[in-house]
Amino acid sequence: MMKQSRQDAGLKRLPMKWPHSPGIWGLMAGIWLGGAALCAAGEPAHIGAFKDYKGSIHVHSALSHDSPASISELISAANQAGLDYVMLTDHIPVQSSGRILDGFEGKTLFIAGCELLKGGKSPQLSDSLLLVGVRPDELPSPAPSLAQAADLAHRSGGLAIAAHPLGFQNWEAEIDGMEIYDLADDLLPSGLDWTWKGPDYAWRALKLRFLNASSEDVLPALIRRPTAHLQLWDRQLRKRRIFGIGAPDAHQNMQILGRQVDPYTVTLLLPAVHILAQELSREALIEALSQGRAYTGFDLLADSTGFEFTAFSASHARPIPQGSEIAMSPGLRLSVWVPAPQGDRFRVYLLRDGVVLQTSGKALLAHPLEHPGIYRVEVMLQRGADWKPWIYSNPIYVRSKVP
Ligand SMILES: [Zn+2]
């Protein structure tokens, strides 16, 4: 019997159910998705009309007072990680000495932005809002209210995303998305979490310092399914459309006994956000993200590029991507395809309104739709005896009628 981790336990209340035979819809999905893999080496995967652009959202550069790494280290790490884009979120006021990255550096598109904190002594206890696409030098001083900042983001063609959502209070603000995972929330928990995490940290710190382990091994071992964040997202999804992203809150500022724990090369992929857009431009990425055409992948564990969560309908010529809002109709089907990593076991969960509906250990899952609801997908990946979070889709909103 496989040992289940504590974070997987919440998803295991239902017995394992293997999927129905994929049938003709599954075959159609398979044939169509097979086409997705046929792209030139080095090019983004094609997902129907869109390309899969891998990047990182919620990243601090040397402009932030608590990010000692240089701009050139960040650029080289993003290039080395193969990121198509980085959405920066520097603390304000910015350090006057830094250069605002806003445009291509090598193959990576940097999009300037900032993080606004209101109240509380730490981001986890504050209203923290990411203003994607708002250059930090364009934010008025003194800093505006969260509602004004969200409005400014929208007028600048950008987005407002609630960060560290467990401490976020201002849900009535016009926000577009929220973090469903934050590496800082996971690694720097508050309260009782320390009682079981503390000894684990100490052991891993010793390994990092004295047993020549690398951050690439140590950090992934500490990540957990963000159960509280996901429950909060599910509650918000009952009230509104709101996209979810996983974020590294990358700073490259943690050292233990002289060893860098959180190099950008590691955190930028822990996790990444894949955006399904028509081209690699600021406007196309922001438009796609605003529509929820994106998924989170912990690509440091295994590359999730090409993951698909789509609906198929007789009335739509093309597959309907995640983030879409559709009406119930006869023959409507959901399809999930996972880029199975060689030799690693994974488990796919299809959820409706936050409750597991179907699980599978296979790359292709097909599900005939019988009820309206908010459908989303999670994938866990086995690492040793433990199960780690790997992929989080955005929802497909199935309504009885589209308003
Ligand atoms: Zn931050």
> Per-residue confidence at 154, pLDDT binned at 50, 70, 90?
very high
* Cβ contact 303:341 at 8 Å: yes
**5-14, 52-61, 192-201 — most confident range:** 52-61
CATH 2.60.40.10-classified regions of the chain? 1-45+306-403
Amino acid symbol at 131: L
Unique residue bearing structure tokens 């198509």: 84
**104-108, 192-196, 216-220 — most confident range:** 104-108
Give the Å distance between the CA of 130 and the centre of ligand 1.
Answer: 8
Give the Å distance between the CA of 214 and the centre of ligand 1.
Answer: 24
215: tokens are 């951050």
Q: pLDDT tens digits for 244-292?
A: 999 999 988 877 777 788 899 999 999 999 999 999 999 999 999 999 9
What is the average pLDDT across 308-326? 91
SS (H, E, C) the chain: CCCCCHHHHCCCCCCCCCCCCCHHHHHHHHHHHHHHHCCCCCCCCEECCEEEEEEEEEECCCCCCCCCCCHHHHHHHHHHCCCCEEEECEECCCCCCCCCCCEEECCEEEECEEEEEECCCCHHHCEEEEEECCCHHHCCCCCCCHHHHHHHHHHCCCEEEEECHHHCCCCCCCCCEEEEEEHHHHHCCCCCHHHHHHHHHHHHHHHHHHCCCCHHHHHHHHCCCCHHHHHHHHHHHCCCCCEEEEECCECCCCEECCEECCCHHHHCCCCEEEEEECCCCHHHHHHHHHCCCEEEECCCCCCCCCCEEEEECCCCCCCEECCCEEECCCCCEEEEECCCCCCCCEEEEEEECCEEEEEECCCEEEEECCCCEEEEEEEEEEECCEEEEEEECCCEEEECCCC
Pairing of strands 90-91, 103-105: unpaired
Identify the pLDDT of residue 42.
52
Q: Which of 78-82, 134-138, 308-312 has the lowest mean pLDDT?
A: 134-138
What is the average pLDDT across 355-361? 96
* Mean pLDDT, the chain, integer: 84
24 or 311: which leads in pLDDT: 311
> Per-residue confidence at 207, pLDDT binned at 50, 70, 90?
low
Residue 12 has pLDDT above 60, yes or no: no
Give the Å distance between the CA of 8 and the centre of ligand 1.
Answer: 27
CATH of 47-304 given 3.65.10.10, 3.20.20.140, 3.40.50.970, 3.30.1050.10: 3.20.20.140
Q: Which of 91-105, 189-203, 365-379 has the lowest mean pLDDT?
A: 189-203
Residue 4 has pLDDT above 50, yes or no: no
Give the Å distance between the CA of 45 and the centre of ligand 1.
Answer: 29
Q: Which of 8-12, 78-82, 125-129 has the lowest mean pLDDT?
A: 8-12
Give the Å distance between the CA of 122 and the centre of ligand 1.
Answer: 10
Distance CA 96, CA 308 (A): 42
Identify the pLDDT of residue 214.
72
Instruction: Kindly report the backbone phi and psi dihedral angles of residue 85, in degrees, each rounded to the nearest multiple of 5, phi listed first.
Output: -150, 160
Give the Å distance between the CA of 89 and the centre of ligand 1.
Answer: 7
Distance CA 2, CA 77 (A): 36
Distance CA 355, CA 375 (A): 9
CATH 3.20.20.140-classified regions of the chain? 47-304
* Cβ contact 287:323 at 8 Å: no
* Cβ contact 328:372 at 8 Å: yes
Give the Å distance between the CA of 389 and the centre of ligand 1.
Answer: 21
Residue 1 has pLDDT above 70, yes or no: no
Distance CA 329, CA 370 (A): 9
Residue 216 has pLDDT above 80, yes or no: no
Give the Å distance between the CA of 296 and the centre of ligand 1.
Answer: 17
Residue 125 has pLDDT above 80, yes or no: no
Give the Å distance between the CA of 59 and the centre of ligand 1.
Answer: 7
Give the Å distance between the CA of 252 and the centre of ligand 1.
Answer: 11
Identify the pLDDT of residue 116.
93
Give the Å distance between the CA of 58 and the centre of ligand 1.
Answer: 6
**CATH architecture group of domain 1-45+306-403:** Sandwich (2.60)
Give the Å distance between the CA of 14 and the centre of ligand 1.
Answer: 36
Give the Å distance between the CA of 262 and the centre of ligand 1.
Answer: 14
Residue 403 has pLDDT above 70, yes or no: no
What is the average pLDDT across 42-50? 68
What is the average pLDDT across 387-403? 92
Residue 388 has pLDDT above 60, yes or no: yes
Identify the pLDDT of residue 3.
37
Q: pLDDT tens digits for 158-200?
A: 999 999 999 899 999 999 999 999 998 888 755 444 445 555 6
Distance CA 319, CA 309 (A): 9
345: tokens are 């076991």
Give the Å distance between the CA of 22 and the centre of ligand 1.
Answer: 42
What is the average pLDDT across 214-222? 78
Identify the pLDDT of residue 300.
94
Cα→Cα distances 193→200, 205, 224, 316, Å: 11, 17, 12, 47
333: tokens are 């089907």
What is the average pLDDT across 191-214? 56
